[in-house]
Amino acid sequence: MAISVRRATAEDLDQLRAQQARPELGLVDKHFEAQQAGSLIFAVAFNDDKPVGTALLDLESQEYNPELRNMYVYPSARRLGAGRALSEFIEDEAKSAGFTAVYLAVDPNNEKAVPLYVSLEYHPTGEHIFVEDPEIPQVEDGIEHSKHYAVYKKSLTVR
Ligand SMILES: CC(C)(COP(=O)(O)OP(=O)(O)OC[C@H]1O[C@@H](n2cnc3c(N)ncnc32)[C@H](O)[C@@H]1OP(=O)(O)O)[C@@H](O)C(=O)NCCC(=O)NCCS
């Protein structure tokens, strides 16, 4: 088993479309087009040559820029290090683009993601974003999602 991460290519799209949590939203194609236009980076994690998850670096986020968004590791591939590898890839991309920090917004009830980000030295800024109805809830069925996502920031200048 070897986890690797790179930007999505056109050849990856069929496999990624097949894994979409909400195919009707067409997010794989929207995100790939946005990457082609230069407004985000669409990262894909592979376990050997099989895609196991994706994440975005939004380069045109309104308030908190750049923003790590839509981190998703397929349920069958959790706890193998793909989430950590995706985050680190996104951070390296942000650094290469000249940014000194990365932001993200996480549901405080997200008991998987909060420990991931804390272990990677993201810190809460104390700010919150009001999320009435998330496109894709971060928490699993049965866990109530919060309407206030916490904003976290990681400095890229201290390592
Ligand atoms: C959150 C998520 C991306 C983590 O992905 P992953 O590939 O399983 O995470 P990793 O294997 O890289 O785990 C890295 C660290 O995160 C923490 N972590 C991950 N899953 C965890 C869990 N279920 N419970 C507690 N801590 C967890 C641990 O510190 C872990 O390190 P360890 O395995 O050495 O203890 C994945 O669970 C997921 O896609 N969840 C649904 C979508 C989501 O919540 N996205 C985040 C939106 S902000």
For 128-154, write each residue's pLDDT tens digit: 999 888 877 778 777 888 889 999 999
The total of structural domains in the chain comes to 1
Evaluate the omega torsion of the peptide bond into residue 66 and state whether it is cis, within 30 degrees of 0. Answer: yes
pLDDT at 78: 96
Model pTM? 0.95
For atom 17 of ligand 1, the residue with the nearest CA is 116
CATH number reported for the structural domain that contains residue 28 in this entry: 3.40.630.30
Ligand 1 binding pocket (C-beta < 6 A) is: 71-73, 78-84, 106, 110-113, 115-116, 119, 138
Contact 46, 78 (CB under 8 A): no
For 22-32, write each residue's pLDDT tens digit: 899 999 999 99
Token match 């929207």: residue? 30
Residue 1 has pLDDT above 80, yes or no: no
3-state secondary structure of 33: helix
pLDDT at 159: 56
Q: Which atom of ligand 1 sits closest to the CA of residue 53?
A: 39
From residue 9, give the alpha-carbon distance in Å to each of 28, 35, 85, 93: 11, 10, 18, 16
For 81-96, write each residue's pLDDT tens digit: 999 999 999 999 999 9
Residue 155 has pLDDT above 90, yes or no: yes
First to last CA, the chain: 28
- CA 125 – CA 42 distance, rounded (Å): 25
Q: In residues, how long is the chain?
A: 159
- Which residue(s) pair with 61 in the sheet? none
Mean pLDDT, residues 92-120 taken together? 96
Pocket probe mutation, ligand 1, options 46, 72, 84, 149, max atoms within 8 Å of Cβ: 84
From residue 61, give the alpha-carbon distance in Å to each of 1, 50, 74: 34, 30, 25
For residue 18, the enclosing domain spans 3-155
| Residue 10: Cβ-neighbour burial (10 angstroms; 0-12, 13-18, 19+) | exposed
